[in-house]
Amino acid sequence: MNKNRYKKARDQFIAHGGIMSTGEAISSGIHPRTLYAMRDNGEIERLERGLYRLADLSPLSNPDLVPVALKIPKGVICLISALAFHKLTTQLPHEVFLALPQNTEPPRFFNPPLRIFWFTGKAYSEGIEENRIDGVSVKIYCIEKTIADCFKYRNKLGLDVALEALKEYCKQKKRKLDDLLYYAKICRVEKVMRPYTEALV
């Protein structure tokens, strides 16, 4: 590979935080042959279809959430995946739980596996926090919104998952019960949650 071409390509990767999609690489002036040569030589590693990362960087601290955030910008990490991020569950999700706006086409052929939930209105737009993980901005619902969502989907996830999260949350000194009830109203589970919340506080 031409050394100058390789250096320019590597510089572009560094400018993008070490991770680029095929489209971003080509738009940045990296020729497809250069990109594939870097892959074949082990200079970059494939994170997901059409997504590459410099191979000599430190391992990703969260190899599941980062590719999802990069490939699906409208996606918001939710439910059990969000609980795991906030350390409010003993569940170990084997798929990434992801919220998308209703009528959004689901991504195909994704690894790690995705479990998609379509949210509407404020149930989608409220409570989103942007967290920096491995230099990438990852959208994740805040703790209070996540708990309300778990009660909303308790028939799919199990009431025990929602109750475990609520119990752990109520032990925290920085709990925000007004926020919790606000999101409970948005998710239409205020009547369901209130008795459990009052019993735990």
For position 124, what pLDDT does the model report? 97
Q: Which amino acid is at 151?
A: F
Residues in the chain with pLDDT values less than 50: none
For position 109, what pLDDT does the model report? 62
What phi-psi label fits residue 64: left (phi over 0), alpha (psi between -120 and 50 degrees) or beta? alpha
CATH number of the domain that 21 lies in?
A: 1.10.10
Does one domain contain both 164 and 184?
yes
Does one domain contain both 95 and 17?
no
Q: Is residue 196 part of a domain?
A: yes
Does one domain contain both 174 and 117?
yes
Tell me: the pLDDT tens digits for 71-102?
A: 888 999 999 999 999 999 988 888 999 999 98
Range of the domain at 48: 3-54
Does one domain contain both 43 and 136?
no
Does one domain contain both 79 and 169?
yes
Burial of 17 (0-12, 13-18, 19+ CB in 10 A): middle
For position 103, what pLDDT does the model report? 85
